[in-house]
Amino acid sequence: MLPRLLVAIATLLAACAPSSAQEYAVVEAFPSLEFRRPVDLQSPRDGSGRLFVVEQDGVIRVFPNRPDVRASDVFLDIRDQVNTNGNEMGLLGLAFSPRFATDKTFYVDYTASKLTRRLTRIARFTAGRDGQSANRETEDVVIEIAQPFSNHKGGQVAFGPDGMLYIAMGDGGSAGDPHGNGQDRGALLGKLLRLDVSQPPYVIPSDNPFRGNTRGWKEEVWAYGLRNPWRFSFDRKTGELWAGDVGQVTYEEINLIEKGKNYGWDCREGKHAYQPASERSDACAGVAANEFVDPVWEYGRQEGISVTGGYVYRGRALPDLVGWYVYADYGSGRIWALRKNGNAVDNRLLVDSDIMISSFGVDEADELYLCAHDFRNEPTKIYKLVAK
C-alpha cells in the first residue's frame, strides 16, 4: 500500500491523468454505510448474501448486501491486539472456511507485537451459530512470522479451489529487500505460502514444492521472489492465481502465480534487473535468467505508484468484462482490465477515478466491489464498478 508521504504524488498523478472517454464508472455501493480504512471485502458464500468489510485498525463489519442498507454490525473487534504503528500494518485480510455455513470458522491476517518483536499472525476464529458475530476468545493461532520493519506485510489470506489456505507475505519491508528475503527459500517473507489447516494448527500439504527438502527451505512456500503481493485472487472458473506485486521505484506488476516458481524480487523489478540496496549481487548472480517468471503485465510510474491486485470478473452485471482481470493503482486511482490472449496481453483503462483503491472484493454473485481510502476525508465508502 501507499505510505502517507506519497499522497501528494498520488494527487499529482491524478491531476495529470490523460483525458479519455470512459466505459465505466465507480459509484457508492452502500450510500448509508461508512468505514475507516477498509482493506478487504469478503463474502462467506454461505447463502446468506452478507458482506464483511475489514477495517485496518482491527474491526470486521457485517451487513446485508443491499444498496439501501442503513447500518453494519461489528462481527469481530480485536483492536487492542492489532499493531497499527506502520501505515501498512494492521488487520489486513479475512478468509472464510469453505465450510463456513456449518463449521463457522474463519481466518485473519494481522500484525501484532509479542514482547519487543513485531510479527504477522495468522489466526483462526469461530463465529456464533448465526454467523453474525465472533467471540474473540475463540482465537487459535495458526502461525506467527517475525517482521523486521513496518512495511511490506502482504496480508491477503484466501482458500484456493484445492481447499488449502494461501497467505501472501511481503519481503518484510524497508527498501531494496535488505535481508534478501525474496530469494531466500529459507525465509517465509517475500513468498506466497500454502497450508493445510484441516488439522490444527496446520500441516504441510503433500504436494507443496519444497516439502521434504534437505536444504533448509521452508516447506510452507508455494512461490517466491515477491516484494509486496498486495492482493491475490483465484479465477473462479479456471483456478488460476492472480497477484499484484507492488514495485520498488520503477515498475508495478501483475503475476500469474504457479507452484514453486521464482518471480524475481529482489534480483528483478518487473521484467528488469534490479540491484539490491545491500549490493548482494552474489544472490542474483547464482540464479539463471530463465528461472525468473516474467509478470503478465507491468506498468511504470507514469501510470501509478502502488498496484492493487483484483479479480477475474465472473459476474453478470458487466458482460463485456467477463474473463478480464480487473485491477487498480492505489496512488493514481486508475482501474484497468487485462486479458491474456495466447502470448499477447490486452490491457484497457476502465476508469480514471479520484479514489485511493485499497482492495477489491466480490459477493456471492461474483459482482465486484472496491474498498477505498481518503486521507483527507475519513471515513470512506465501499464502491461498485458500473457500466456507463
Topology (CATH level 3) of domain 4-387: Neuraminidase (2.120.10)
Rounded Cα distance between 371 and 121, Å, is 23
State which residues of the chain have pLDDT below 70.
Answer: 1-22, 276-282, 375-377
Distances in whole angstroms, Cα of residue 4 to Cα of each of 64, 133, 176, 228, 292? 32, 32, 19, 17, 32
Rounded Cα distance between 195 and 193, Å, is 7
List alpha helices for the chain, DSSP H. Answer: 7-15, 100-103, 281-285
pLDDT tens-digit series, residues 219-266: 999 999 999 999 999 999 999 999 999 999 999 999 999 999 999 999
Angle at 185 between CA 179 and CA 187, to 5 degrees: 50
Which helix or strand (DSSP H or E) is residue 241 part of?
A: strand 241-245
Name residues whose C-beta falls within 8 Å of residue 320's C-beta, 6 or more positions apart in sequence. 23, 387
Distance of CA 319 to the CA centre of its chain: 25
Contact assessment for residue 231 and residue 246, using Cβ atoms and an 8 Å cutoff: no
Domains in the chain: boundaries: 4-387
Distance of CA 146 to the CA centre of its chain: 19
Name residues whose C-beta falls within 8 Å of residue 147's C-beta, 6 or more positions apart in sequence. 111, 118, 119, 120, 153, 172, 173, 189
pLDDT of residue 374: 78
